[in-house]
Chain A
């Protein structure tokens, strides 16, 4: 069971990074949503 720490480390890092990447994508999406909302507002004001 020696070196099991390395095994754990490898899997943890891979999953952490992948999760992290997904979080980054989700964050970006949230920001984009906000931008869409503000753009829609701007358009409404232009029309009105």
Chain B
């Protein structure tokens, strides 16, 4: 099982680096909260408006925060020249992908776990349903699955961070649609049945793109 050990080594490295600097989580968290506040001023907080707009707001926020977080995933490697080191080490590209992906997943989940209650607090919404938690988890996995691939790609281009949203958003539109629709239902107390088809689509997306990204990753970071 040395595959997983190597994977967790990479993930742990990222976690340690993050714990030291708290770069990603703090910046993205502040960003998330700011976006929520801006939305509050943009749409107002009358309960009717909130009901209409809450789910969309939540996911626009998470989408942008996700991009922000993913952007940072490989920047450190690029800037410190660690890419070469990583590649020379006896680690297959797939291990790098999985390790990085899990790291980003962890960071995003932490951010979402903090942002959701704040969201509920600011908008007086009941957020704690298992449905919502599952939706958020599945969608985040999808983001991170494709996002890690594209982040590695983006970091190697001239325009760096600007490329990621352009690549990333069109591809993840299906799961954003799913997340928004399913969250709507979950926030108004819908049942599992209501969201089952959306969860199915998101689940399928996750599986497909985890596999595809895993396979293609090597092509992105070869030098």
A and B touch in the complex (CB under 8 A): no
